[in-house]
Amino acid sequence: MGGRVVRMLVVFCHPLQESFAAAARDAALRGLAAAGHEVRLRDLYAEGFDPYVSAAERARHRDPWHTKPEIARDIDDLRWAEGITFVYPTWWSGLPSMLKGWFDRAWVDGVVSTLPPGATRLRPLLTNVRRLVIVTTHGSPWWVNALTGRSGKRTIFRSVRVMCHWRTRCAWVALHNIDRATPDARAGFLRRVERRLARLR
Amino acid sequence: MARIVLVFGHPRQDSLNAALRDRAAASLRDAGHHVDVLDLGAIGFTPAMTPAERAAYHTPTPVIDPVVAAHAALVKRADALLFVYPTWWSGLPAVVKGWLDRLMVPSVAFSFDDDNRLVPGLRNVRLIGGISTYGSPWRYQQLVGDNGRRILHRTLRTMCARRCRRRWLALYTLDTRTREECAAFVDRAGRAVVRWAAAL
């Protein structure tokens, strides 16, 4: 099979360490380890990441990336990564605000995109990233999500993906109706997560 | 005379978004409506659901923060919700999403009946309006899904009145707009919100 080692940035977002999302994260990490990939783990809540873009930060948003020490770690992770795996609960069909704030604050001009002089369209810069994986749970059944538009999935697989390599492949592993899921359904989902990440190339 | 809750999500008071907020509120008040402006940045609204809030979610008291409780009381009495914010990454700025995450909890946005079925809790809301600025062009937003609007007009709407109206006003390709175009957009916004609220 010839697996090549992928540098995978795993971004975990849930306020509680004792959560099903944390179990999903651990399943993802087991899968990545089994396939021999290189992993960096981010845990936005545990790190005390601030998702709010302040007035001062917004005023500087077009400043060069190297003048932003407050997101130095994030910039380093983004440049290191060849793949990004997001593990989070879907709330109101979208990303939890803590994770949305990671994009708002850390995905900056000069790192993920650039606007060449005279151009009207952004040019993607995060072309080192070729894999985007979402591992997520939903309170509602799949058909509710289908009707209400899967906003979180689109945000990452469309809007964020545009900044990555044009051949970026996306993988989606989701559990629906979590509030009613049986222990078997939950365990089955965790196995699916582990297998999907282990299969990643 | 309608009760309108305006949720504002830009960090800067000197922004176009702030001008839109001010014009929308003033126009609605001039037209005789009651407007509560929730300026999330100015009040230091905690932008993400806290561990304590998440732990309380399935308990009889999911609302534990007094600011959230105060906002929830306004929303439960409102005829309309109006959102004014810049679209970032095709979606809501984190603090606006955080307002939904923390506020739209059991006993506020919905509840469960005796058969454990979900009962919408915002049937009083008959209009969800939004005014947003975008860096990208309209066509690009159509391709990526205009996900902030989607969350408000589709997902949030499932908890509101059955015939809850949806209204939207957008300014695209913001970076190429002149001062005059921005001023004209503020004028349009002031007129639009009065039209939207007239049927309440």
Domains within chain B, CATH numbers bracketed: 3-198 (3.40.50.360)
Q: What residues of B are in contact with residue A170 (Cβ under 8 Å)?
A: none
Mean pLDDT by 10 residues, chain B (200 residues): 98 98 98 98 98 95 97 98 98 98 96 87 98 96 96 95 98 95 98 97
Query: Distance between CA A111 and CA A105 in Å, rounded?
Result: 12
Q: Is B54 an interface residue toward A (CB < 8 Å)?
A: yes
Q: Considering CB atoms only, which of A96, A97, A155 is closest to B89?
A: A155
Specify the pLDDT at position A118: 80
Total count of residues recorded for chain A: 201
Q: Where are the beta strands (DSSP E) in chain B?
A: 3-8, 34-39, 80-86, 110-112, 118-120, 127-133, 165-171
pLDDT of residue A142 exceeding 80, the answer is: no
C-alpha Rg value of chain A to the nearest Å: 17
Bridge partners of B80?
A: B4, B127
C-alpha distance from residue B139 to each of B30, B143, B144, B152, B182 (Å): 35, 6, 9, 20, 20
In this structure, the number of other CB atoms found within 10 A of the CB of residue A143 comes to 10
Q: Compute the nearest-CA separation of A78 from chain B (Å).
A: 16
Q: What residues of A are in contact with residue B154 (Cβ under 8 Å)?
A: 93, 147-149
Q: What residues of A are in contact with residue B176 (Cβ under 8 Å)?
A: 120
pLDDT of residue A198 exceeding 70, the answer is: yes
Amino acid A67 reads T
Q: Compute the nearest-CA separation of A188 from chain B (Å).
A: 24
Specify the pLDDT at position A122: 87
For residues A183 and A160, the answer to whether their CB atoms sit within 8 Å is no
Q: Is A91 an interface residue toward B (CB < 8 Å)?
A: yes
What is the pLDDT confidence band of residue A115, given thresholds at 50, 70 and 90?
A: confident
pLDDT of residue A1 exceeding 50, the answer is: no
B104 DSSP assignment: S
Q: What residues of B are in contact with residue A50 (Cβ under 8 Å)?
A: 47
Query: Distance between CA B129 and CA B192 in Å, rounded?
Result: 10
Query: Distance between CA B77 and CA B123 in Å, rounded?
Result: 10
What is the pLDDT confidence band of residue A3, given thresholds at 50, 70 and 90?
A: low
Mutate to test the interface with A, among B53, B90, B122, B177 (most CBs of A within 10 A): B90
ipTM for the whole predicted complex goes beyond 0.95: yes
pLDDT of residue A201 exceeding 90, the answer is: no
pLDDT of residue A146 exceeding 80, the answer is: no
pLDDT of residue A2 exceeding 50, the answer is: no
Q: Is A166 an interface residue toward B (CB < 8 Å)?
A: no
Nearest CA in chain B to A179: B58
When the pLDDT of each residue in chain A is averaged and rounded to a whole number, the result is 94
**Pairing status of strand A38-43 against strand A7-12:** parallel
Closest CA to B126 of B191, B82, B71, B68: B82
For residues A135 and A191, the answer to whether their CB atoms sit within 8 Å is no
Q: Is B60 an interface residue toward A (CB < 8 Å)?
A: no
What is the pLDDT confidence band of residue A179, given thresholds at 50, 70 and 90?
A: confident
Domains and their CATH numbers in chain A? 7-113+123-198 (3.40.50.360)
